[in-house]
Amino acid sequence: MATFGNLSARLTDTFKNLRAKGKLSASDIDSTVREIRRALLEADVALDVVKDFTGKVRDRALGDEVSEALNPAQQVVQIVNEELVSILGGEQRRLEFAKNPPTIIMLAGLQGAGKTTLAGKLAKWLKGQGHTPLLVACDLQRPNAVTQLSVVAEQAGVAVFAPEPGNGVGDPVKVAKNGVAEAKAKHHDFVIVDTAGRLGVDAEMMKQAADIRKAVNPDEVLFVIDAMIGQDAVATAKAFQEGVDFTGVVLTKLDGDARGGAALSIRSVTGRPILFASTGEGLGDFEPFHPDRMASRILD
């Protein structure tokens, strides 16, 4: 899992300076907030999110909870921690299960975001909890995507539904519908629909994803985003929200040198919760997302 190297180090330094002070003046707090602001901007957190965050921290830090605290610096750290948890979504949001199975999960996102890998990870995780997911291969854009999905399905030990004559060759909407029908017929309790991405935001891709969504009415649409894309995360997320809309977010590649920006911006910018974090190429490198644990890692 990401250590948010620079961001963590900057915040740690800022708090070290603060702890050396004992009682805090308004100007100590101002300079601390300025440091936090700089650290967040350097980590590629969206400007509006940074402004909102530092505004809240500043207001609280200037209030009674700090001036009356036995250890004011510690209290400021506590406030930053609480506000980080808050921008990461507060409470953990779990996957929604359909009242009548199968629960249908659709994955959407740019090419290379990690959707196909995630399909395998989710399937393995669900299988480990006694579920019987079916993976449905609707990425007919990337030459290798169907084979790649079959490979991850095999690794996860779950079934896959792929386009073949009769299963809707060339038509991802038909494959999605037929895949869901197959899941019902064979009593799979989860369906995970992998969809096509493009290297950049593209109207045709959005329409295809929106059509699949309309056709199978998923319980969850998970927007999969590479945490390494930094500042682009916000525009990409907004485009997918407009084009397809989604119920939750999955952050991938948090094992890399993520600067933290996407992780910290995405919830505030989209209003959608982060459900999972992907932390490597292996199918086990995956975990439900806990805002409080992520905040602790950042402040570690």
Residue closer to ligand GDP by CB (options 35, 139) is 139
- Annotated ligand binding at 280? The verdict is no
- Annotated ligand binding at 116? The verdict is yes
Using CB under 6 A, pick the residue from 164, 242, 281, 300 that binds ligand GDP.
281
Does 252 bind ligand GDP (CB under 6 A)? Our answer is: yes
Does 255 bind ligand GDP (CB under 6 A)? Our answer is: yes
In whole angstroms, how close is the CB of 190 to ligand GDP at the nearest point? 18
Does 291 bind ligand GDP (CB under 6 A)? Our answer is: no
Does 101 bind ligand GDP (CB under 6 A)? Our answer is: no
Does 195 bind ligand GDP (CB under 6 A)? Our answer is: no
Does 197 bind ligand GDP (CB under 6 A)? Our answer is: yes
Residue 187: exposure state from Cβ atoms within 10 A (0-12, 13-18, ≥19): exposed
Applying CB under 6 A, the site for ligand GDP has a residue count of 18
In whole angstroms, how close is the CB of 82 to ligand GDP at the nearest point? 28
State the Cα angle at 7 between 238 and 15, rounded to 5°. 130
- Taking alpha carbons only, the member of 123, 177, 112, 184 closest to residue 145 is 112
Does 178 bind ligand GDP (CB under 6 A)? Our answer is: no
Contact call for residues 108 and 241 (beta carbons, < 8 A): no
Residue closer to ligand GDP by CB (options 154, 281) is 281
Strands (DSSP E) contained in 8-166 are 103-108, 133-138, 159-161
Contacts with 133 (C-beta within 8 Å, 6 or more apart), sequence order = 122, 123, 126, 127, 158, 159, 188, 189, 190, 191, 192
Sketch the per residue contact string, 111 through 150, with ligand GDP: x for CB under 6 A, - otherwise.
xxxxxxx---------------------------------
Does 288 bind ligand GDP (CB under 6 A)? Our answer is: no
Contact call for residues 8 and 299 (beta carbons, < 8 A): yes
- Annotated ligand binding at 197? The verdict is yes
- Beta-carbon count within 10 A of 93 CB: 18
Residue closer to ligand GDP by CB (options 67, 141) is 141
In whole angstroms, how close is the CB of 9 to ligand GDP at the nearest point? 22
In whole angstroms, how close is the CB of 22 to ligand GDP at the nearest point? 43
- Annotated ligand binding at 139? The verdict is no
Residue closer to ligand GDP by CB (options 204, 281) is 281
Please state whether beta strands 190-195 and 103-108 pair in parallel, antiparallel, or not at all (unpaired). Answer: parallel
Does 172 bind ligand GDP (CB under 6 A)? Our answer is: no
* Three-state DSSP class for residue 259: coil
Does 75 bind ligand GDP (CB under 6 A)? Our answer is: no
- Name the residue with tokens 């291969």: 137
Does 218 bind ligand GDP (CB under 6 A)? Our answer is: no
- Annotated ligand binding at 184? The verdict is no
In whole angstroms, how close is the CB of 133 to ligand GDP at the nearest point? 16
- Taking alpha carbons only, the member of 182, 159, 183, 178 closest to residue 167 is 178
Tokens of 153: 């399905």
Partners of residue 276 on adjacent β-strands? 250, 288
DSSP track, 82-127: HHHHHHTTSS--PPPPPSSSPEEEEEE--TTSSHHHHHHHHHHHHH
Query: What are the residues binding ligand GDP (CB under 6 A)?
Result: 109, 111-117, 197, 252-253, 255-256, 278-281, 285
